[in-house]
Chain A
Amino acid sequence: DQQVKQNSPSLSVQEGRISILNCDYTNSMFDYFLWYKKYPAEGPTFLISISSIKDKNEDGRFTVFLNKSAKHLSLHIVPSQPGDSAVYFCAASSTGGFKTIFGAGTRLFVKA
């Protein structure tokens, strides 16, 4: 049973518009959430994270929103750029734990 779910395998967005990637989790013990970006033939790179004590974290064009009651988080990219085209993984872990669970990933296409 997948504890972290990314239900959209792919997303296509026009350059300059907003990209919204979604992630749901089932384990209420998770209290730290991360997003990673992956280009082909490379390892994932850490993008942004959020602790469960917050509901929003912003870093430049990237913002992560956390809705604990719904066990849902989302990554917003504004404005989207062609270089953002990649696979995005959502991940979750619990404080003091060392297991980080990843979702299946969403492939983002940003069209010029």
Chain B
Amino acid sequence: EAQVTQNPRYLITVTGKKLTVTCSQNMNHEYMSWYRQDPGLGLRQIYYSMNVEVTDKGDVPEGYKVSRKEKRNFPLILESPSPNQTSLYFCASSLGDSGGYTFGSGTRLTVV
């Protein structure tokens, strides 16, 4: 089944404790992206990647890092999480401009 898999689905952590949210896709998509969803703000792009070793900032990159060492994986790293990063996070992948994104099921992160 074609899918984007994120882990974990739920995570509660403390301020400053480094964490990684994993994302993997099995569709051989070149494009991958991370979004966060907050009430009233919709989905805001954090980082995106056009291919292996090619990444760029989205609209809200502060406090986040990503890497794309393999085509299928695009982990999101929070080096020092803060409470304002409490949000619902989605990873997505796409073939390219003409196709819509396939999204993962989301990761609900709470930073206390």
Pairwise interchain contact A41-B42, C-beta atoms closer than 8 A: no
Pairwise interchain contact A44-B97, C-beta atoms closer than 8 A: no
Chain A positions 77 through 112: 1 when the CB is less than 8 Å from some CB of chain B, otherwise 0: 000000000000101010110111111110000000
Task: Write the nearest CB–CB distance from B56 to chain A, whole angstroms.
Answer: 7
CB < 8 Å neighbour of B31 from A32, A46, A98: A98
Q: Does B35 contact A (CB under 8 A)?
A: yes
Task: Write the nearest CB–CB distance from A87 to chain B, whole angstroms.
Answer: 9
Tell me the complex Cα distance, A34–B97, Å. 11
Give chain B's interface residue range (CB within 8 Å of chain A). Answer: 20 to 34
Which residues of B have CB within 8 Å of A98?
31, 33, 48, 50, 56
Tell me the complex Cα distance, A112–B97, Å. 37
Chain B positions 24 through 45: 1 when the CB is less than 8 Å from some CB of chain A, otherwise 0: 0000000101010000111111
Which residues of A have CB within 8 Å of B64?
none
Task: Write the nearest CB–CB distance from B96 to chain A, whole angstroms.
Answer: 9
Task: Write the nearest CB–CB distance from A89 to chain B, whole angstroms.
Answer: 6
Pairwise interchain contact B101-A102, C-beta atoms closer than 8 A: no
Chain B positions 56 through 89: 1 when the CB is less than 8 Å from some CB of chain A, otherwise 0: 1011000000000000000000000000000000
Tell me the complex Cα distance, A89–B100, Å. 12
Q: Does B4 contact A (CB under 8 A)?
A: yes
